[in-house]
């Protein structure tokens, strides 16, 4: 896949075909490598999984909250793989596939969030992960952590209905505290330097400001994440009517399924925050100090 110029939002049909071929060539990550990575993450972040039995046997669309800085995949995909032997394909923003980085990410299982890509993967019965909040949710200010920024997006509902998939909601707590925000994205957007760069043409007028991330600050003012314990909960699947072979899905139905999914994710987040609060006194003094 050739590198593309950043800022080009639309992929040609030929480029989508090329990407689909690349995505379908991926099977599963190396079991040994994934086990080693998960052991490392397990020792550092101590993930607790709740409701794994809610994950259906048939292929499903996982939908949940996006952590700040989009670091959730480090926990989510390996955790599901270790618990079920299934490796869900995370769907990423266009920008990730507009440079050579996209091909490297694709070889780790990430795919482009595009309807044709989603259809191709669902046709082969693959599990997928969607964060409806996208980049805006990953780059949200710290005051909005653990809140959904889904706007009025219904695409994930349409894709599930068109391909006979149900939705498995999940709530993930922990990664939003791996880093503090030394400077929030909106502060960067309002800075004199940002405005100057736009006037100079360095930053294009059509630049997607939701892609401007905060400046992270980890443990001891480094990029090392804080060892915040993670809690990942899966809810009962949201039943989606099968609209396979049909062109239109009632908007009222889309809104209802979206609302059910969001409510379930929010409930799971709240439950995991409560579970973390109950378990906090049992943490080691060192972990409490490093995550305060």
Task: Give the pLDDT confidence of 143-186 residue by residue, as tens digits.
Answer: 999 999 999 999 999 999 999 999 999 999 999 999 999 888 77
pTM, to two decimals:
0.91
Residue 162 sits in the same domain as residue 264 = yes
Residue 163 sits in the same domain as residue 248 = yes
pLDDT (tens digit per residue) in 116-131 = 999 999 999 999 999 9
Total number of domains in the chain: 2
In this predicted structure, the answer to whether residue 46 has a pLDDT above a threshold of 90 is: yes
Q: 223-248 in b/e burial notation, b at 16+ Cβ within 10 A? A: eebbbbbbbbbbbebbebeebeeeee
Two tokens at 195? 């405005």
In this predicted structure, the answer to whether residue 7 has a pLDDT above a threshold of 70 is: no
The reply to whether 9 falls in a domain is no
Residue 58 sits in the same domain as residue 202 = no
Contacts of residue 154, defined as CB under 8 A and 6 or more positions apart, other chains included, come to: 251, 254, 255, 258
Bridge partners, residue 171, by sequence: 233
Average pLDDT, the chain: 89
Banded pLDDT at 206 (limits 50, 70, 90)? low
- DSSP state string for 51-107: -GGGS-SS-EEEEEPPPGGG-THHHHHHHHHHHHS---EEEE-GGGGSSTHHHHHHT
pLDDT number for residue 160: 98
Q: What's the domain range around 189?
A: 180-217
pLDDT number for residue 93: 87
pLDDT number for residue 285: 93
């Amino acid at each position: 896949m050739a590198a593309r110029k950043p800022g080009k939002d639309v992929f040609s049909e030929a480029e989508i075909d090329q990407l689909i071929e690349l995505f379908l060539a991926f099977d599963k990550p190396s079991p040994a490598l994934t086990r080693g990575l998960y052991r490392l993450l397990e020792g550092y972040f101590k993930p607790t999984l709740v409701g794994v039995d809610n994950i259906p046997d048939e292929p499903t669309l996982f939908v949940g909250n996006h952590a700040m800085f989009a670091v959730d995949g480090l926990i989510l995909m390996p955790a599901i793989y270790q618990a079920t032997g299934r490796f869900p394909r995370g769907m990423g923003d266009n920008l990730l596939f507009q440079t050579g980085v996209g091909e490297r990410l694709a070889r780790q299982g990430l795919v482009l969030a595009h309807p044709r890509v989603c259809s191709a993967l669902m046709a082969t019965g693959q599990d997928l992960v969607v964060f409806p909040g996208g980049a805006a949710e990953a780059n949200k200010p710290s005051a909005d952590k653990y809140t959904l920024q889904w706007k009025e997006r219904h695409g994930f509902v349409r894709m599930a209905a068109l391909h006979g998939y149900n939705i498995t909601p999940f709530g993930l707590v922990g990664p939003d505290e791996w880093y503090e925000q030394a400077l929030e994205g909106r502060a960067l957007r309002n800075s004199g330097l940002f405005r100057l760069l736009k006037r100079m043409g360095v930053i294009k007028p059509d630049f997607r400001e939701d892609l401007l991330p905060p400046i992270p600050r980890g443990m001891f003012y480094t990029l090392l994440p804080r060892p915040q314990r993670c809690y990942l909960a899966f809810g009962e699947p949201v039943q989606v009517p099968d609209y396979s072979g049909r062109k239109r899905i009632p908007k009222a139905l889309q809104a209802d399924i979206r609302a059910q999914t969001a409510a379930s994710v929010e409930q799971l987040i709240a439950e995991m925050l409560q579970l973390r609060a109950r378990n906090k006194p049992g943490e080691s003094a060192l972990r409490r100090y490093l995550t305060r």
